[in-house]
Amino acid sequence: MRLLLTTFLFVAHGTALLAQWDTATVSTKDFVVGVDARGSLFHTGSEIRSEYPANSGKHMMNYAGLWMMGESGGTVFGAINTGEGQAECWPGPVDTITGLPTTGGSWNRVWNLTDQDVLQHRHSFNTAGYQPIEDIRDWPASHSTPNVNPILAPYIDWDLDGKYDPVQGDFPKLIGTTNAYFILNEGAGEHIVSGSPSMGIEVQGMAYTINSKALQNVVFVRYHLINRSSRNYSTFKAGLFLDFALGNANDNRIGTDVKNGFVYAYNGDLNDEGGYENQLPGAWAVFPKLTLDGSVGFSASDAVRAMPSTSEGLKNILSGKWSGGEPRTFGGKGYQTGEATNFLYSGSTDDQISGFWADSTSGDAPGTRNVLMIHNFNGLNSGEYVTLDVAIGVGLENGQPDAQRTQSVWTILNEFNVLGVDAISQNLGFRLYPNPVTAGEIITVDAGEDEIIQLQLTDFLGRVVWESGPDEKKMRKITIPCSDALPDGVYQMNMKTTSTISSHKVLIHRR
């Protein structure tokens, strides 16, 4: 479902431009989530879109947005997104020649597709008179904008001609059941919140849900963070900022489970007045494939715990300090107390620190709460990318909320590994090993019971570096020598068989 959201965008030279941000939703039968073209989750303009249960009129989240920070040559660069009107990302890719953002109406877009949309397209594309629906037709695996990467979205090349053409059967490569894809830059406007210079990062993001009974209350987001600048970042950190509603937003508390690697929010008293009432709400978030390296919350009424407003303050926040440089410590309000810590309100889950520390022991009353979850990627060189996966779950908690949250997170992690990673290729029986592979080794591709019609290995620009010949046709298993001449990087193996097509990323590295 797509809507147009009207807001005012104030750009650096002071002129107010009328902007209509494209918006969409991803959903399960229980949970409805809004996404807009600036990558904002849950909050689109004046509307909160985090309805749980669906059609109840009650919402779990106010907002979620991406944070990034990189350091190069002693200068700190960054971008943060803390709410509608306080976002430092804009729609559109980054020019690969100049490193400047590419903006305009055609990029103010969220591509909103379901797995059934793609299935219908695959069944119908060769039918006379068929026309692909708009978001399949305009999927940004192909575009006409000069000087940006020619392939800005994953797709399956059905006819193996090296270009996206849905009329010939090509189709978007989705992850989930409902999907919302967006492309962002953080250089199209002034960073008025963080006070940090632009990084030259291009974000390719997909929010999605998975049709699984165990995941009816979960939304996933995958961010590919691509360094389009000429700088190498010796330090690169990223995270997700979450602003919780939980029905009535004025009686909440937050915490961190360090042992299990997730952050959470819960109702801070025995009744969610005007919200979920005596059915107490809760929410949690986890990096399914990465470590949680830090967590922090902010308070508008405490100068020490304020949001960062300078690049140095941003670096401090992502490095275990408060924005003004005060160390974050265990106990009380998180400063001038006990041992140094990277995690807020960790209870007794941090094996490095003895004792117990919770929001309820901080001296703060229940109220509005937010939390930033952090992962340290160490560095990010020019031309490279990293992937940040996030899962956010919501629910109504019973009499054992700690055990319930932990079980929910473990369910998310287990289901994610089965269903949430490149679901199309996972469900088609395509096996490729070893992966990663060392240059000079042999790659084996196994099509199971199908016969292989064509097999192709392409680089990140879509250029074919190897393809099968007539001798391999109709084989079920093919071995491929991985040439020593191939540079390190991420490649894609595309396979067409007698019944399906599939693809899989391959990481090739030197000995």
Residue 272 belongs to domain with CATH number: 2.70.98
Q: Lowest mean pLDDT of 87-96, 271-280, 390-399, 491-500, name the range.
A: 491-500
Q: Does some domain include residue 338?
A: no
CATH code assigned at 451: 2.60.40.1930
Q: Are residues 456 and 391 in the same domain?
A: no
pLDDT of residue 437: 82
Lowest mean pLDDT among 339-348, 356-365, 436-445: 436-445
Q: Are 223 and 85 contained in the same domain?
A: yes
Q: Are residues 382 and 315 in the same domain?
A: yes
Instruction: Please report the pLDDT score of residue 348 as a whole number.
Output: 96
| List of residues 6+ apart from 47 with CB closer than 8 A | 34
Phi/psi of residue 426, nearest 5 degrees: -65, -35
Instruction: Tell me if 139 is assigned to some domain.
Output: no
The answer to whether residue 146 is domain-embedded is no
- Residue 190 and residue 77 share a domain: yes
Residue 156 C-alpha from the chain's centroid: 21
- In which band, very low, low, confident or very high, does the pLDDT at 85 lie, cut at 50, 70 and 90? confident
The pLDDT value given to residue 500: 65
Q: Would the pLDDT of 468 be above 90?
A: no
Q: Higher confidence at residue 186 or residue 481?
A: 186
Q: Pick the residue with more confidence: 287 or 411?
A: 287
Q: Which residue has the higher pLDDT, 194 or 45?
A: 194
Give the per-residue pLDDT at 458.
Answer: 86
Residue 384 lies in a domain: yes
Instruction: Please give the Cα distance from 497 to 475 (Å, whole number).
Output: 9
The pLDDT value given to residue 292: 98
Q: How confident is the model at residue 496 (pLDDT cuts 50, 70, 90)?
A: confident
On whether residue 346 sits in a domain, the answer given is no
3-state secondary structure 403-462: HHHHHHHHHHHHHHHHHHCCHHHHCCCCEEECCCEECCCEEEEECCCCCEEEEEEECCCC
Q: Which of 406, 424, 442 is the last residue of a domain?
A: 424
How far apart are alpha carbons 400 and 402 in whole angstroms?
A: 6
Token pair 């107490």 in the structure block, residue = 280
Per-residue pLDDT at 117 exceeds 60: yes
487 inside domain: yes
pLDDT band at 69; cut points 50, 70, 90: very high
Q: What is the mean pLDDT of residues 31-51?
A: 90
Same domain, 273 and 390: yes
Same domain? For 259 and 385 the reply is: yes
In this predicted structure, the answer to whether residue 451 has a pLDDT above a threshold of 90 is no
Q: Indicate whether 320 and 400 sit together in one domain.
A: yes
Please say if the pLDDT value at position 116 is more than 60: yes
Residue range 175-185, pLDDT digits in tens: 989 999 999 99
Name which residue leads in pLDDT, 490 or 410.
Answer: 410
**Same domain as 441, residue 394:** no
Q: Which residues of 314-346 are buried (b: 16+ CB within 10 A; e: fewer)?
A: bbbbbbbbbbbeeebbbbeebbeeeeebbbbbb
Q: How many domains does the chain have?
A: 2
- Cβ atoms within 10 Å of 6's Cβ, excluding its own: 10
Residues 252, 183 share a domain: yes
CA 388 → CA 59, 186, 483, 493, distances in Å? 25, 17, 30, 22
Check whether 337 has a pLDDT greater than 80: yes
Identify which of 31, 394, 396, 20 has the alpha carbon closest to the alpha carbon of residue 178: 31
Which pair of structure tokens corresponds to residue 273?
A: 């007045």
pLDDT at 110: 96
Give the mean pLDDT of the chain. 88
Q: State the residue range of the domain holding 301.
A: 22-111+178-326+368-424
- Is 121 among the domain residues? no
